[in-house]
């Protein structure tokens, strides 16, 4: 397995030169860099070595006990002991305050090293965030401290055998016991981190229906259902009739315990309501949006590590008397991979910075975060997978074999396009809710930001590329008009047919914009007298932008053609 490599220079460029997060952080640039540097060292030394071993060893269920790869346990324990789990949380709950963008960067580093390992603490963060947001004071004081220390883990339990993406069809029930607790009964499937030996107890957040609940998602309530019952002091007691009844055998993330969980098979499973009755779905969305952004980070992070390892390989592998990095087709692939991988990073860190702006009182960015979340999830997971496939191609036969660990990137990344709402569902949510529902108000606001960047004096040095971005902005309006016409005719299926194309169109446009902002900043730094080493890096940022526009933004021409100039009614076609 090749040596772990993180492009810290590019992370720092995005955070401190483009986004300038130090200007609205209580910590200075050097302190923030030190956090990321030390985090990267920990992940490189402790987590990355578990990547292929954990993949080979997998997860096992025997006599009702789930065991994770042995190599996961020591870094998991040290991760909590070193306080890395607490990064980004307030001191009020025992956290280590840091900007969201820094937290996103660190999550990217750990997910690049080992997605399966990172998901255990990632799901715990998501469950804990729900408890912090909507839990009672008693629930927060009972569950959060032990989740912060790593004694207890967390999951979200939505999917059922007969209700996959159709969450409202769930049949899990919650019957009042008369003492404030509920008797939980049902089966949930595809539960990430559903059972494992890394935590002493696991806090499940379970969607279920109370007696007489309305049909569909409106009837769902959310319940805290620990694996082990606990007393009011937080001590774990007897088993809570929550059993793992199956471990899924999967294409990738073999070290992740993806479980079928059976609640209340013996009629002895208890849970407590979190939030209000029938508000389960909106409360669970706190965790789901966290998880969707994490999916985007998974795609971005896997792409960036695959890129780093590919760069190392092509500069060492000799064919026909020279390193293959000098062969035009390989160079083309590598430049495309770099432009896309860095473009995804710029999108993810920009989104993280929006959270920080909102935290500091800029309420206007809340809609932009909601707007970008399905793009981060769908665009980055799709493109991250494609970069992983390209990395296999660059490595040739060695990439197809397991020796270099490259094929694992494709296997581990593909799931991010499927879980937490398939990318098709993300596209529907984006098109119908985030764009058409508010008459494209947020999209137009983002478009105004793009136009502002295009109007900067430094942007004029990229005349052809900027003109093409401007044309894409104009084409966006044509697409919106087309969708509006279909909606007036109540031809919703015509819009839904092209939702994925529309999301990808906007994704290409926004990443082009973020890379333009990077290219402008790089141009400024070179003009101010950067040294030769820095100049090489800044030149690469300009190349990233140009390559992305040439090879990726140009895809928008065909995407627009699909929507505007061909038959939109597929209802008469047989599959």
Query: How many residues does this entry show for the chain?
Result: 575
The whole-angstrom separation of Cα 292 and Cα 422 is 10
Angle at 237 between CA 232 and CA 239, to 5 degrees: 130
- What count of other Cβ atoms lies within 10 Å of the Cβ of residue 235? 10
Q: Both ends of the chain: CA-CA distance in Å?
A: 43
Could you give the residue numbers annotated as active site? 420
The whole-angstrom separation of Cα 115 and Cα 118 is 5
Half-sphere exposure of 237 (CA within 13 A, CB side): 10
The whole-angstrom separation of Cα 9 and Cα 51 is 24
- Nearest 10 degrees: Cα torsion 256, 11, 382, 217: 70
Which of 277, 307, 458, 450 has its CA nearest to residue 387? 307
Burial label, 181 (beta-carbon count in 10 A; 0-12, 13-18, 19+)? middle
Summary count for the chain: helices (H), strands (E): 18, 14
Helix axes 499-527, 555-564, angle to 10 degrees: 150
The whole-angstrom separation of Cα 286 and Cα 304 is 27
């Amino acid at each position: 397995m090749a040596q772990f490599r993180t492009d810290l220079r590019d992370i720092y460029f995005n955070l401190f030169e483009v986004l300038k997060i130090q200007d609205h952080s209580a910590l200075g640039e050097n302190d923030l860099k030190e956090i990321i540097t030390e985090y990267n060292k920990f992940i490189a030394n402790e987590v990355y070595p578990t990547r292929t071993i954990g993949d080979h060893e997998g997860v096992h269920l025997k006599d009702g006990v789930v065991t994770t790869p042995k190599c996961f346990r020591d870094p998991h324990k040290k991760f909590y002991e070193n306080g890395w789990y607490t990064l980004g949380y307030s001191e009020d709950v025992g956290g280590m305050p840091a900007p969201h963008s820094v937290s996103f960067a660190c999550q990217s580093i750990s997910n690049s090293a080992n997605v399966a390992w990172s998901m255990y603490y990632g799901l715990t963060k998501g469950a804990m965030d729900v408890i912090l947001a909507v839990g009672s004071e008693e629930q927060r004081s009972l569950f959060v401290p032990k989740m912060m220390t790593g004694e207890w883990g967390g999951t979200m339990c939505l999917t059922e055998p007969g209700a996959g993406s159709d969450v409202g069809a769930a049949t899990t029930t919650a019957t009042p016991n008369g003492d404030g607790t509920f008797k939980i009964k049902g089966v949930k499937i595809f539960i990430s981190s559903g059972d494992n030996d890394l935590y002493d107890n696991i806090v499940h957040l379970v969607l279920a229906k109370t007696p007489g609940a309305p049909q569909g998602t409106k009837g769902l309530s959310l319940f805290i259902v620990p694996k082990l019952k606990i007393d009011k002091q937080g001590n774990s007691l007897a088993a809570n009739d929550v059993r793992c009844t199956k471990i899924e055998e999967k294409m990738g993330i073999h070290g992740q315990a993806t479980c079928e969980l059976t609640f209340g098979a013996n009629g002895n499973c208890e849970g407590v309501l979190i939030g209000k009755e029938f508000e389960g779905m909106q409360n669970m969305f706190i965790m789901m949006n966290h998880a969707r952004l994490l999916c985007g980070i998974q795609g971005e992070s896997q792409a960036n590590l695959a890129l780093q390892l590919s760069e190392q390989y092509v500069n060492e592998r000799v064919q026909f008397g020279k390193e293959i990095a000098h062969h035009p087709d390989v160079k083309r692939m590598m430049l495309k991979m770099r432009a896309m991988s860095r473009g995804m990073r710029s999108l993810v860190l920009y989104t993280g910075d929006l959270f920080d702006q909102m935290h500091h009182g800029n309420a206007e960015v809340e809609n932009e975060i909601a707007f970008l979340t399905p793009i981060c999830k769908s665009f980055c997971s799709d493109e991250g997978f494609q970069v992983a496939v390209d990395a296999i191609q660059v490595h040739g036969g060695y990439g197809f074999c397991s020796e270099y660990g490259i094929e694992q990137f494709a296997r581990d990344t593909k799931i991010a396009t499927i879980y937490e709402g398939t990318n098709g569902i993300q596209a529907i949510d984006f098109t119908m809710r985030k764009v058409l529902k508010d008459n494209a108000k947020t999209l137009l606001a983002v478009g105004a930001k793009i136009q502002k960047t295009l109007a900067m004096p430094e942007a004029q040095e990229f005349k052809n590329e900027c003109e093409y971005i401007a044309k894409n902005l104009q084409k966006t309006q044509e697409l919106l008009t087309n969708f509006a016409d279909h909606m007036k005719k109540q031809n919703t299926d015509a819009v839904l047919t092209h939702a994925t194309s529309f999301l990808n169109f906007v994704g290409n446009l926004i990443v082009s914009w973020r890379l333009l902002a990077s290219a402008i900043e790089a141009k400024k730094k070179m003009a101010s007298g950067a040294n030769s080493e820095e100049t090489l890096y800044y030149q690469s940022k300009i190349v990233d932008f140009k390559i992305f526009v040439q090879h990726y933004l140009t895809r928008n021409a065909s995407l627009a053609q699909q929507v505007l100039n061909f038959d939109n009614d597929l209802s008469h076609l047989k599959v």
